Structure 1
Amino acid sequence: MAQQNKTVWWALGLPLLAVLIWSMNITVTRYVADYISPVSISFYRWLIAFLVLTPFMLAKVWRERQLVMQHWKQLAVLGAFGMVLYQGLGYTAAHYTTATNMGIINAFIPVFTIFVSMLMLKEIPNRFAVVGSILSFAGLLYVMAQGNPLNLIQSGGHLGDVMMVLAVFFYAFYGVFLKKWQLQIPLMISLYVQIVFALLYHLPFVLWLGLDAIDQHNVGSVVYAGIFPSLIAPLVWMMAVQMIGPNRTSIFMNLMPVCTAIIANLWLAEAWTIYHSMGGVVILLGILLAQKKVATVETVKLNA
């Protein structure tokens, strides 16, 4: 029994590690915005991931080519939403907002997923999920307005915040597509093929806008983005889902705003203000309420 408990506690470190890597990547994204264009870092990121995975995955993908061909359209859509629209908008948003705000907005993925599921899967959220989502959205608007609603009315909010909201919305579609299709494809093969599609989607933008050179100012950020958030974090996250379950794993996503704010404060000297605290608490309470009730509904379905 002691060994089992030890294993469980060790497994709880997996989603925490993934969240730390993703939080660090948000800060890296903000830092490198002054040294490389969004198209360039996004393309380089997936190119590095592709080059790292190819020696291990190419033969496996070839053996499973018939399975891949059966689902290539779905994989193409997943690559577009999860790796191009979400990541591309995130890199662009970094030019106009702070890493702290990006981390806070990124925590909205579970809430947006509820409403995308309602649109696509016809899953009607109960009143607690709706109240939690409204509460979280009110907190988000408060942060975007920097504590003064008049700022939001007068300026329409920061462009970067709006773009990050749109990015998170696209990623919510990515999660719902995964749930809707439930592709019977090995996870690493699915990831590899999605990366291939992401590179293909980037080609028109690369040809039109060109690529910035990799130099001493951006090379560390590019390599980090291509390995840690692209490969290591998804891998340990999938391991966590298998070991402690999807519901307990997803709760760790709520730590991302806090982790991002701490890293951004230490590295970029970004201030954590009173409106971040007040809005963050409201957002977190709403997200916990929405997730708790949704998790309960899913548990009932599984037990039925």
Structure 2
Amino acid sequence: MRHLHHLPQSTHDFHNQRMLFTAVPYKLPPTFFLSEHTLMNFLFPLLAVLIWSVNAIVSKLSATAIDPAAISFYRWLVALLVLAPFALPGVWRHRQQIKQLWWKLLVLGLLGMVMYQSLAYYAAHSVSALFMGIIAALIPLLTVLLSMVVMRLAPTLGILLGSLLSFSGLVWLVSQGDPARILTQGLGKGEIMMFTASTSYALYGVLTRRWAIPLPNWQSLWMQILFGVLLLIPNFLLATDVSLNAHNLPLVLFAAIPASIVAPFLWIQGVMRLGASSTSIYMNLVPIFTAVIAVSFLHETLHSYHFIGGGIALAGVILAQRLRTPLTGRKSPCTPGNKSPE
């Protein structure tokens, strides 16, 4: 990649803030990308979603290949080093601003880089990739719900009905088609971890939008990753086995480069060319892609409760995205991905 360009500040908060930066490939004419009718414009978000879906499979595979603390640390360390040549000059130029904003960058690093992925890696020991994909698809809805609390934005009819629908689907999914099971057995540790991970990532997106950190996206992202790596060190040092080998190294590299750098780049390109609202719809493909890959390569079994619970939950997300009738006179929140654009 050459000729890196910063996004306008308005692109700093798309529905869950999937790591924000952009670049324009060298030698290709701008009209090739900017035309709304170019197939490439639709491939940007489609490929991003495909990479994130594969990453759910990588998370599941890592459960038997490497300690969760190790892959969490290595992933962001590699991403930090890869981005350093592009980000460090700007970080140095903006060092005075960073000194004032350090605690916000630290909080974002904790939520987006530490809690979200670390909890997902631990959850992968006890939940399926199918379950992880469905829960991840609920992040846009969780983002909007948290926006109503943190940013005091009014709900819409779609958010109200969509939340109820998604909650019903989630109960059916977690209980494996027997809601009474939750009352008798409670939630599993992995399920709680995965839901907490998704909630932390949703909060990451809300705070990014609320704070609107006045730094170029490369520098903001790099500083968040830096704080994330520092916060991950204690857990990494306590891990029993942090060795890298031919089996787990490809998993680390995929999580570090395609999932952490390439996919966000592709996603933000899609947002710039298709619009945030249109691009956000592609997120609903995550559980579908994840299911196909999990069944094909991990030989996981699709059950009726996956179809019913997952389908109802996704229907709730889509309803929240599309039905925007306000319930009050206050300003209603942007639907997932409809914010100017993680």
TM-score (ref. length: structure 2): 0.83
Q: Which residue of 1 aligns with 2:228?
A: 198
Identical positions, percent: 42
What is the CA-CA distance between 1:51 and the residue it aligns to?
1.4
Within 1, Cα distance between the matches of 2:84 and 2:36?
Answer: 37
Within 2, Cα distance between the matches of 1:213 and 1:173?
Answer: 32
What is the CA-CA distance between 1:152 and the residue it aligns to?
2.0
Within 1, Cα distance between the matches of 2:88 and 2:224?
Answer: 13
Partner of residue 190 from structure 2, selected from 138, 143, 160: 160
Question: Residues 53 and 133 of structure 2 are in contact (CA less than 8 Å); yes or no, is this contact kept in structure 1?
Answer: yes
Within 2, Cα distance between the matches of 1:261 and 1:187?
Answer: 32
Amino acid of the residue matched to residue 201 of structure 2? Answer: Y
Amino acid of the residue matched to residue 115 of structure 1? Answer: L
Q: Which residue of 2 aligns with 1:274?
A: 304
Amino acid of the residue matched to residue 25 of structure 1? Answer: N
Q: Which residue of 2 aligns with 1:128?
A: 158
Moved more, 133-142 or 51-60: 51-60
Amino acid of the residue matched to residue 227 of structure 1? Answer: I
Amino acid of the residue matched to residue 48 of structure 2? Answer: A
Deviation string for 1:65-105 (max 9, x for gaps)?
22322322211111000110111110110001000000001
Deviation string for 1:156-214 (max 9, x for gaps)?
13321221111111111001001101122211111111110001101121223355100
What is the CA-CA distance between 1:295 and the residue it aligns to?
9.4
Amino acid of the residue matched to residue 141 of structure 1? Answer: V
Q: Which residue of 1 aligns with 2:22?
A: none
Q: Which residue of 2 aligns with 1:64?
A: 94
Within 2, Cα distance between the matches of 1:251 and 1:271?
Answer: 26
**Corresponding position: 1:173 with 2:203:** yes
Q: Which residue of 1 aligns with 2:251?
A: 221
Structure with greater helix share of residues: 1
Within 1, Cα distance between the matches of 2:154 and 2:295?
Answer: 39
Question: Residues 264 and 270 of structure 1 are in contact (CA less than 8 Å); yes or no, is this contact kept in structure 2?
Answer: yes
Within 1, Cα distance between the matches of 2:240 and 2:232?
Answer: 11
**Corresponding position: 1:112 with 2:164:** no
Question: Residues 175 and 181 of structure 2 are in contact (CA less than 8 Å); yes or no, is this contact kept in structure 1?
Answer: yes
**Corresponding position: 1:188 with 2:193:** no
Show structure 1 runs of 5+ residues with no match: none
Amino acid of the residue matched to residue 183 of structure 1? Answer: I
Count of aligned positions: 301
Within 1, Cα distance between the matches of 2:333 and 2:194?
Answer: 28
Amino acid of the residue matched to residue 4 of structure 1? Answer: S
Q: Which residue of 2 aligns with 1:34?
A: 64
Q: Which residue of 2 aligns with 1:149?
A: 179
Q: Which residue of 2 aligns with 1:254?
A: 284
Amino acid of the residue matched to residue 74 of structure 2? Answer: Y
Question: Residues 97 and 159 of structure 1 are in contact (CA less than 8 Å); yes or no, is this contact kept in structure 2?
Answer: no
Q: Which residue of 2 aligns with 1:79?
A: 109
Q: Classify 1:299/1:276 alpha carbon distance in 2 versus 1 (closer, same or farther; 3 Å).
A: closer
Q: Which residue of 1 aligns with 2:37?
A: 6
TM-score (ref. length: structure 1): 0.93
Q: Classify 1:231/1:152 alpha carbon distance in 2 versus 1 (closer, same or farther; 3 Å).
A: same
Task: Specify the SS of the correspondent of 2:323.
Answer: helix
Amino acid of the residue matched to residue 13 of structure 1? Answer: L
Deviation string for 1:112-133 (max 9, x for gaps)?
1122111110112123311111
Q: Which residue of 1 aligns with 2:4?
A: none
Within 2, Cα distance between the matches of 1:298 and 1:252?
Answer: 20
Superposed CA RMSD in Å reads 2.2
Task: Specify the SS of the correspondent of 1:6.
Answer: coil
Show structure 2 runs of 5+ residues with no match: 1-30, 327-331
Question: Residues 158 and 321 of structure 2 are in contact (CA less than 8 Å); yes or no, is this contact kept in structure 1?
Answer: no
Partner of residue 47 from structure 1, selected from 53, 74, 77: 77
Deviation string for 1:209-245 (max 9, x for gaps)?
3551001221110111111111111111122222222
Deviation string for 1:6-53 (max 9, x for gaps)?
33x321211111111111001110011011111000000001111111
Task: Specify the SS of the correspondent of 1:270.
Answer: coil
